[in-house]
Amino acid sequence: MNALTATNFNFKGQTNVYHGKVRDVYSINNDTLIMVATDRISAFDVVLPKGIPFKGQMLNQIAARFLDETADIVPNWKISTPDPMVTVGHRCEGYPVEMIVRGYLCGSAWRAYKSGVREICGVKIPEGMKENQKFPTPIITPTTKAEIGMHDEDISKEEIIKQNLVSAAEYEQLEKYTLALFARGTEIAAKRGLILVDTKYEFGKSKGKIYLMDEIHTPDSSRYFYAEGYQERFEKGEAQKQLSKEFVREWLMDNGFQGKTGQKVPEMTDEIVKSISDRYLELFEHITGEKFEKAESEDILKRIESNLNKAGF
């Protein structure tokens, strides 16, 4: 199975290209973006050495669907998806923070809580909580937006405003959008027998207007639990059955890697790569409720270039 791990296109009117952790973003005439969702995979802010076949297609198609299903809440950057791995959209000036919203205590928040932390990003967490317990109301725990190779850092609302990363008025709007998007995502997930546990949103501005950017509600940016059996597993203190990229992080941690200096990424055998691809396919079909149709992958670069040429790029 082929995986797309690098692109180097040169489109008409191209003014810039940014190679992120998992996406390559091309600027066209300074007002349009072509975002290629590659098959690269990252964990602990480190890009892993092998790509995951069809991962880019799955994430791009999930994100496109959720952007369409939330467009009534907040305008978003998407214009079209001319290829299964490509979204074309409005170029926005991104805010230097990511809005992370959590409905349940798990993942990195649980790891911090277990170590004695009772305040995350200025949000106080009650005593006596258990792993995977639902918060009374969802909490927002923002992070700074790191450059590639750097770690995102937790930051409080007060610090964001104090550092003038986002104005107080605009931050209030971002909070409203974040909670409304999370509520919609929660409703959609429930119809699929899932619980939207936590996720992140990125916002930007174009011509003075706030837009939702990037991907949303994908297993790379979100964590889902299966609703069936959640309560029983929680009461017994058992691990939840989940749909997210956490299984990749757990595999890395089990093999002594957490992205820390001096640590080495464990070997990604063909079996490991296939198992990750298979898990992403499972995620896609549960989240969308549809069977995944694999795009032609003999020559992915040629296919993308051809589809974008047809779209006028």
Last residue of a domain, one of 187, 209, 244: 244
Shared-domain flag, residues 167 and 230: yes
Shared-domain flag, residues 99 and 200: yes
| Segment 253-277 mean pLDDT | 93
Last residue of a domain, one of 229, 244, 259: 244
CB-based contact 262:255 (threshold 8 Å): no
Shared-domain flag, residues 49 and 111: no
Task: Confirm whether 9 is domain-assigned.
Answer: no
pLDDT tens, residue by residue, 7-56: 999 999 999 999 988 999 999 998 999 999 999 999 988 999 999 999 99
What angle do helix axes 270-288 and 246-254 make, rounded to 10 degrees? 150
Shared-domain flag, residues 187 and 229: yes
Task: Confirm whether 276 is domain-assigned.
Answer: yes
Task: Confirm whether 166 is domain-assigned.
Answer: yes
Task: Confirm whether 260 is domain-assigned.
Answer: no
Query: To the nearest whole number, what is the mean pLDDT of the chain?
Result: 94
Shared-domain flag, residues 175 and 297: no
Three-state secondary structure call for residue 244: strand
Task: Confirm whether 5 is domain-assigned.
Answer: no
Q: Give the closest residue to 37 by CA, choosing from 311, 313, 243, 304.
A: 304
d(CA 261, CA 154): 20
CB-based contact 98:140 (threshold 8 Å): no
Shared-domain flag, residues 19 and 69: yes
Shared-domain flag, residues 158 and 108: yes
Shared-domain flag, residues 154 and 220: yes
Shared-domain flag, residues 60 and 158: no
Residue 273: CATH number of its domain: 3.30.200.20
Task: Confirm whether 58 is domain-assigned.
Answer: yes
H/E element, 58: helix 55-69
Q: At 14, phi and psi to the nearest 5?
A: -65, 130
Range of the domain at 137: 94-244
Residue 205: CATH number of its domain: 3.30.470.20
Shared-domain flag, residues 162 and 210: yes
CB-based contact 121:155 (threshold 8 Å): yes
Task: Confirm whether 259 is domain-assigned.
Answer: no
* Number of folded domains that form the chain: 2
Shared-domain flag, residues 101 and 75: no
Shared-domain flag, residues 186 and 234: yes
pLDDT tens, residue by residue, 66-96: 999 999 999 999 999 999 999 999 999 999 9
pLDDT tens, residue by residue, 99-158: 999 999 998 899 999 999 999 999 999 999 999 999 999 999 999 986 654 567 899 999
Last residue of a domain, one of 244, 260, 282: 244
